[in-house]
Structure 1
Amino acid sequence: MTESSVHPALWPAPHASGAVDATVTVPGSKSVTNRALVLAALAAEPGWLRRPLRSRDTLLMAEALRAMGVGIEETVSSSSSVAGGPDASGEAWRVIPAGLHGPTTIDVGNAGTVMRFLPPVAALADGPIRFDGDPRSYERPLNGVIDALRVLGARIDDDGRGSLPLTVHGGGALDGGPVAIDASSSSQFVSALLLSGPRFNQGVEVRHTGDKLPSMPHIRMTVDMLRAVGAQVDEPETGGEPNVWRVSPSALLGRDLTVEPDLSNAQPFLAAALVTGGRVTIPDWPERTTQPGDALREIFTAMGGSCELTERGLTFTGSGRIHGIDVDLGEVGELTPGIAAVAALADGPSTLSGVAHLRLHETDRLAALTKEINELGGDVTETADGLRIRPRPLHGGTFHTYDDHRMATAGSIIGLAVPGVEIENVATTAKTLPDFPQMWTGMLGA
């Protein structure tokens, strides 16, 4: 059965007939899974990932590492599934490091973590590693990683584009050392160099020279995960020099890691509670985390809900009213589409700022949100670094996704309150949230 036959080109977004009351089990974090795969592949001993996310982006990462010689064995126990989502509780991947080698070609799809985290890994391989991907991947910037690797001693052919397709000619090792980059278009440039840094002969010192760094929680996640496998990292937040990260050369430990639920992927379900005045519980919400999605507790509370974090998880309850918000989303930009969808249904205007870098994501998210919400009757205006949203009565219509998973979930949020919304290519949610349509209808009791 093909993907298009499972999810037709236009998917009627379910309309909520009343307040939602559901428990939704969200699969593992993509950001954690893909970082953990890279660190495990570079370790000196085998390791385990438990409850990893199985999605297009993570499977692309796993296949890419396998193509370079890493062993990744998948096992699934017979544990029972948890109501509300796919059963990931019994799944584990055993990662067996090996000598990295080419020649091979890696398909990055449109996954920022794959296209940015793996060229430094490829520089440590023996032989040429070619990177290619979806048409949109050619438009996403890679110059921060390419230029930095050249300074650190790598040989890369990209015909001067600063983007895909490209070939890394691995020499089996990399000198490393200090490098200055402008990572203002993507924090992944910094994370990419830090993740492989322990394996460079001199380690790495990454100095950010541009404007304010976006998505700082993702860099904190990288640093925490490096330290958990034995790396020594000096960073600004622990007394280091501002905008400078240093990773010392060292062997990395294999470890047994259980992946947290993906809190950003919990966003549409929490939004459903807010939009319908209902209640949604997300099991296993961590008490402490570096995931950007944890900011939803504060943001959605400010927009009219309330939340309680217990041993069971996070329960979010809507009040029946949605308030506009003025918020800087620079550190949590990936949450912007869902917040914009909720803001379009609010009782007052909203201003979302600090997210100019979203123009370089899976699609130009600011332009896409403006166009799609306005075509449903909304009043959204782009600003230099975000969106201004003035609520207006919305009507049904087609909500285009531009092959962007977060556009698909944003349209689904609007569809809860607006009859007749149809999502074009809802199957794009498989990038990070497999089975989203089934989870969404299940939440509504369908």
Structure 2
Amino acid sequence: MTETPALPALWPAPLADGTVHATVTVPGSKSVTNRALVLAALAAEPGWVRRPLRSRDSQLMADALRAMGVGIEETVSSSSAGDGSGGEAWRVIPAALHGPTTVDVGNAGTVMRFLPPVATLADGDIRFDGDPRSYERPLGQVISALRTLGARIDDDGRGALPMTVLGGGALEGGTVEIDASNSSQFVSALLLSAPRFNQGVEVRHVGGNLPSMPHIRMTVEMLRAAGAQVDTPEAGGEKDVWRVTPGALLGRDMVVEPDLSNAQPFLAAALITGGTVTVPDWPRRTTQPGDALRRIFTEMGGSCELTDAGLVFTGTGKIHGIDVDLSEVGELTPGIAAVAALADSESVLRGVAHLRLHETDRLAALTKEINGLGGDVTETADGLRIRPRRMHGGVFHTYDDHRMATAGAVIGLAVEGVQIENVATTAKTLPDFPKMWTDMLAEDAEGSGVPGASAGAGA
């Protein structure tokens, strides 16, 4: 097994010298992988998570569950079902959860928010710690909600990490109000473990606009697929209310979809260069927010088609500005901002004030870094206003944020001399991104430039 060469502190973003024509195999969804791991760990029987994402965030989740007693065996399986279930798989073997132990959350929002409710079911104390930035990310609503439901948590009054969940082997559950306007993960965190609470749970969101609703729909659908009864009584006039009935979860055989949000930079490459990128296994129906790229990038000048080969996205080389509400798909903002900086007219990205509380303050970071390359970006109360200008090379800082790194690479396709600081941070959710990126761009140079060749992690 060859060792991956070390990446430079400043990675020269490749400049596209022509149209991009490639097939890019995108690894599995982080959001699906980490939810699947939690549900499998809480099930009444063993299950499989097939084609999982292997990245820093998913490895942190797996290691944390192992620390609490769950068996997770990594295997390579084969399948004759023709459903894509062959390949790498994790066998998850539930066990009695226990402490004392320490969980390293890194800077993974899913780990720091989804696992404290799991820890309340453990027999023993579970300490949560992580990267310095994790101490600044909002967690207080989850902590206070768990206390309302019967948990004991020692956080020294911070409402943030580090903290210790004093596991009692069970949690009473019941009804709780929560302000999830800073992160939809607050709701998902409570719902995922709720079938194991004595009374289940009724979660009522009582704050402002609830962002990233597709992620909550993903949580609900995955719970139901694992045998949970989840009631979302919007039809009865109630809004932002979820009820989960207590009961056993089933061990499932879950095949993880490609991470559609991580397909964004590759689709952007087709849009910017007037080329074509095919992403295999793009689902025809999904709860992933990244599916919105089909609509957004089409409005910005491209076209797409779902085929048996996957999603085929084609650009014209002309990029149009866009006025768009991204409140449900905020994670796409950095990549859309990068494309908008290269457009032929102004763009306004709205509904994403909550991005100030992500891996970094993404609105401030995008403004500073794009403007540092000669762009014209202004922060608004809930987003960004981007006026295209001719840009120049320079250092694009990432702030340990994987989506900042890929945004910088997108700009580097059209702007010579862009250097990405700490491109290795993409390993958080997209391992081998630098190789995938250069392989995509190398196809025309090495071959005919005909779509259907192979680039990326599967190459």
Same fold (TM over 0.5): yes
Looking at structure 2, the residues matched to 421 and 4 of structure 1 have their Cα atoms a distance apart, in angstroms, of 23
Q: How many residues align?
A: 439
State the match for 1:384 in structure 2: 381
Deviation for aligned residue 1:43: 0.2
State the match for 2:65 in structure 1: 65
Deviation for aligned residue 1:236: 4.3
Looking at structure 1, the residues matched to 6 and 313 of structure 2 have their Cα atoms a distance apart, in angstroms, of 31
Contact preservation (8 Å) 2:412, 2:418: yes
Which of the numbers 183, 187, 194 marks the counterpart of 2:180?
183
Q: Out of 239-248 and 370-379, give the one that drifted further.
A: 239-248
State the match for 1:257 in structure 2: 254
Looking at structure 2, the residues matched to 255 and 194 of structure 1 have their Cα atoms a distance apart, in angstroms, of 18
Q: Counterparts of 1:106-117 in structure 2 under 5 Å?
A: 106-117=103-114
Deviation for aligned residue 1:209: 0.3
Q: Counterparts of 1:242-321 in structure 2 under 5 Å?
A: 242-321=239-318
Contact preservation (8 Å) 2:122, 2:168: yes
Q: Which residue type is aligned with residue 16 of structure 1? A: A
Contact preservation (8 Å) 1:52, 1:88: no
Deviation for aligned residue 1:13: 0.2
State the match for 2:48 in structure 1: 48
Looking at structure 1, the residues matched to 356 and 99 of structure 2 have their Cα atoms a distance apart, in angstroms, of 34
Q: Counterparts of 1:217-232 in structure 2 under 5 Å?
A: 217-232=214-229
Contact preservation (8 Å) 1:72, 1:95: yes
Which of the numbers 148, 153, 172 marks the counterpart of 1:151?
148
Contact preservation (8 Å) 1:56, 1:432: yes
Q: Is there any run of 5+ residues in structure 2 with no aligned partner, and where?
A: 444-459
State the match for 1:361 in structure 2: 358
State the match for 1:30 in structure 2: 30
Q: Counterparts of 1:117-156 in structure 2 under 5 Å?
A: 117-156=114-153
Report SS of the residue matched to 1:444.
Answer: helix
Contact preservation (8 Å) 1:27, 1:88: no
Q: Which residue type is aligned with residue 419 of structure 1? A: E
Contact preservation (8 Å) 1:154, 1:169: yes
Quickly say closer, same or farther: Cα 1:24–1:5, change in 2 above 3 A.
closer
State the match for 1:373 in structure 2: 370
Contact preservation (8 Å) 1:403, 1:428: yes
Report SS of the residue matched to 2:435.
Answer: helix
1:165-211: CA deviations, max 9, x gaps? 00000000000000001000000000000000000000000000000
Which of the numbers 413, 421, 425 marks the counterpart of 1:424?
421
Looking at structure 2, the residues matched to 296 and 240 of structure 1 have their Cα atoms a distance apart, in angstroms, of 31
State the match for 2:454 in structure 1: none
RMSD: 1.6
Report SS of the residue matched to 1:145.
Answer: helix
Looking at structure 1, the residues matched to 225 and 85 of structure 2 have their Cα atoms a distance apart, in angstroms, of 23
Looking at structure 1, the residues matched to 309 and 235 of structure 2 have their Cα atoms a distance apart, in angstroms, of 32
Looking at structure 2, the residues matched to 378 and 273 of structure 1 have their Cα atoms a distance apart, in angstroms, of 21
Report SS of the residue matched to 1:266.
Answer: helix
Q: Counterparts of 1:69-80 in structure 2 under 5 Å?
A: 69-77=69-77
Contact preservation (8 Å) 1:26, 1:282: yes
Looking at structure 1, the residues matched to 214 and 258 of structure 2 have their Cα atoms a distance apart, in angstroms, of 16
Contact preservation (8 Å) 2:375, 2:390: yes
Deviation for aligned residue 1:341: 0.0
1:327 aligns with 2:324: yes
Contact preservation (8 Å) 1:308, 1:316: yes
State the match for 1:82 in structure 2: none
Quickly say closer, same or farther: Cα 1:237–1:280, change in 2 above 3 A.
farther
1:314-348: CA deviations, max 9, x gaps? 00000110000000000000000000000000000
Contact preservation (8 Å) 2:78, 2:85: no
1:16 aligns with 2:16: yes
Report SS of the residue matched to 1:290.
Answer: coil
Deviation for aligned residue 1:5: 5.8
Deviation for aligned residue 1:88: 9.8
Contact preservation (8 Å) 2:347, 2:386: yes
Deviation for aligned residue 1:277: 0.6
Contact preservation (8 Å) 2:373, 2:391: yes
Deviation for aligned residue 1:243: 1.0
Looking at structure 1, the residues matched to 85 and 57 of structure 2 have their Cα atoms a distance apart, in angstroms, of 16
Quickly say closer, same or farther: Cα 1:397–1:286, change in 2 above 3 A.
same
Looking at structure 2, the residues matched to 418 and 188 of structure 1 have their Cα atoms a distance apart, in angstroms, of 36
Q: Which residue type is aligned with residue 40 of structure 2? A: A
Q: Is there any run of 5+ residues in structure 1 with no aligned partner, and where?
A: 80-86
Quickly say closer, same or farther: Cα 1:153–1:240, change in 2 above 3 A.
farther
Which of the numbers 153, 162, 182 marks the counterpart of 1:165?
162
Quickly say closer, same or farther: Cα 1:88–1:347, change in 2 above 3 A.
farther
TM-score, reference length from structure 2:
0.94
1:24-67: CA deviations, max 9, x gaps? 00000000000000000000000001000000000000000000
Which of the numbers 349, 367, 376 marks the counterpart of 2:346?
349
Quickly say closer, same or farther: Cα 1:115–1:241, change in 2 above 3 A.
same
Deviation for aligned residue 1:6: 1.3
Looking at structure 2, the residues matched to 319 and 124 of structure 1 have their Cα atoms a distance apart, in angstroms, of 54
Contact preservation (8 Å) 2:85, 2:255: no
